[in-house]
A and B are shown apart, each in its own frame.
Chain A
């Protein structure tokens, strides 16, 4: 058959597409469960690391069961929706909905009788999505720990938000100001406190060359935390009445 004829070209292209598509589809579907399992364990690992429990992926599942005592799906009024499994909520599709239709996942951890509130974050960096978890102490103000991850930020610049030294800067910072207003944490380029010694300034030092990624971190913290205010209000009242 003439290799330059149209029909040969069409036949070749059709066969090639079929072969490639089926090979890739077969590989993707046969590896899917392994990949999903990795992602699920990594999520547990990330949630645990915000409350200071570092573990490898294999042990994450067991430790998660030990420490995470509640996974709540909240609506925008702070009520608990028991029909939704909070762990399965995919924030990437959830944040596209209007706020009053969203469900906000919240993880409650108990370590040595101290309560922690772990809030999943998601926002945009420079190139693509960034996400993370932030754990608040039982005063619902001080940060116990934060963990960030990203899809496609620049290596060495924006991608540095996943580094321990950057995440450590958030520890002990406060998300509410003294008047009780939610201010979040500003990843700041003009901060007078590059060593992050002042833990009441609501600021951490930004990474050089990662301005937009840093702004993304700032934005996602305040945007996400805002939705939990009604629940925090209830929780604080509850604590007040017990005391």
Chain B
């Protein structure tokens, strides 16, 4: 990302003592909306594909996973941004990893105590957030060089961009793979009697890739500036 190390000379700990920029100025809004389309982490940057394959078989885990990623990315971006002038350069990746991992463990522990059923539903997926390249990518590319508020927006925006794709893919995979949405039967019994079959291939990972591929195609047909010129 182009916005590396834009610190002013005087170190600013909080967004409060920065030059008086409104909280939702145009520049800040872009941080939030850009990852949803023009700079989507999955379809444009092709990051986080691994978890997009693993957890999009059903809509519910995809949704809860998206919310957990929003929480983890928002929080870890803020923490790294707060510490950005203190983190030794040579171990910055380790520091980022430690921050992300502890956030994930915290989320997991809290879910286990207060939302046991949700945590059971997610099982390993929560742990998978640690390995999500988008989280580390944003810490490295953005939070290390930008203020707290901007980093927070960037984290939320990218997590939302990721979650959006997850939900779209899971919608189609669950609908065509098992005829359900959120576990409720959508395709009526009469269709099956007429010879309709669920597409078992939708449940397997390759179809997640193909669904993402189709999404990228549609997105680029709509948004011409994403097409590479060579």
Interface positions of A (Cβ within 8 A of B):
3-4, 8-9, 12-13, 16-17, 20, 23-24, 27-28, 31, 34-35, 38, 42, 57, 127, 150-152, 154-157, 159, 208-209
Contact = CB atoms under 8 A, between A and B. Distances in A.
Interface centre among A20, A127, A208 (most CB of B within 10 A): A20
Interface stretch (B8-16, B23-31, B104-112, B148-156): B104-112
B44 to A, nearest CB: 26
Interface stretch (B89-97, B161-169, B187-195, B210-218): B89-97
B2 interface: no
Interface string B15-58: 00000000000000000000000000000000000000011011
A13 B113 CA distance: 30
Given A4-B88, A152-B123, 14 more contacts: A3-B86, A12-B88, A13-B94, A23-B106, A27-B110, A35-B109, A38-B116, A151-B124, A152-B124, A155-B54, A155-B57, A155-B125, A156-B58, A159-B123
B226 interface: no
A24 B86 contact: no
Interface of B: 54-55, 57-58, 61, 86-91, 94-95, 98, 102, 105-106, 109-110, 112-114, 116, 123-125, 177, 200, 203-204
Nearest to B105: A24
Main secondary structure of the interface of A (DSSP, over half): helix
A12 B112 contact: no
Contacts of B110: 27, 31
A157 B203 contact: yes
A38 B116 CA distance: 7
Q: Pick from B110, B116, B204 the residue with the most CB of A within 10 Å.
A: B116
A4 B102 contact: no
Given A4-B88, A12-B88, A12-B91, A20 B113 contact: no
27 contacts: A3-B88, A4-B90, A9-B88, A9-B90, A12-B87, A12-B88, A12-B95, A13-B91, A13-B94, A20-B102, A23-B106, A27-B109, A27-B110, A28-B109, A31-B109, A31-B113, A34-B113, A34-B114, A35-B109, A35-B113, A38-B113, A127-B124, A154-B54, A155-B54, A155-B61, A159-B123, A209-B203
Nearest to A32: B113
Contact of B98 (A8, A20, A38, A156): A20
Given A23-B102, A28-B109, A155-B55, A57 B116 contact: yes
Contacts of B91: 9, 12-13
A154 B106 CA distance: 23
Contacts of B57: 155-156
B156 to A, nearest CB: 23
Contacts of A127: 124
Which among B95, B105, B123 has the greatest number of chain A C-beta atoms within 10 A? B123
Nearest to B88: A9
B230 to A, nearest CB: 38
Given A4-B88, A9-B90, A16 B106 contact: no
Contacts of A152: 123-124
A31 B125 CA distance: 21
Contact of B200 (A9, A16, A20, A208): A208
Contact of B88 (A8, A20, A23, A208): A8
